Amino acid sequence: MTFDDCVKQFSERKLDALLQETERKSLQNRISAFYPDEGPLRRELYPKHMAFFAAGREYQERAMVAANRCITPWTAIEMPGATRLVSELIGELHFDVRSWDGATLCTKPASGVFLKSYRASVSCSSGQWAIV
């Protein structure tokens, strides 16, 4: 049976309902566009991400903590007394940081800062592009 033969079996109303259902599902399953079955962003390359999305079947609330430790010596950290650069905090074992949870500003303890390594990057903080 060809595709055309299959389509001929459905009424226009049924085909319209199938099209609407397909569109609804594609809007509710946007993950398939972000992580396709094939290609450089294929799902198998992101097992932790897929586990996070799969957990949605069982849990309505979940949290993904990402970009961990993506700071540089020039990253500003807001503290109760002032804003300081990470490079100024190297060697300190304990200090408080301020954060925003969307509703309230809170202060929490943080552990010591250490740098694994960093590379030069491009900055435009002064209005001029420069390698920092």
For 77-102, write each residue's pLDDT tens digit.
Answer: 888 888 998 888 888 888 888 887 77
The stretch 97-110 carries a mean pLDDT of 83
> What confidence tens digit (pLDDT) does each residue in 39-68 have?
888 889 889 888 888 898 898 888 877 665
CA 57 to chain centre: 19
pLDDT at position 58, please? 92
d(CA 45, CA 13): 41
How far is it, in rounded angstroms, from Cα 90 to Cα 37? 43
Q: How far is CA 120 from CA 126, 128, 130, in A?
A: 17, 16, 10
In terms of pTM, does the model score above 0.85?
A: no
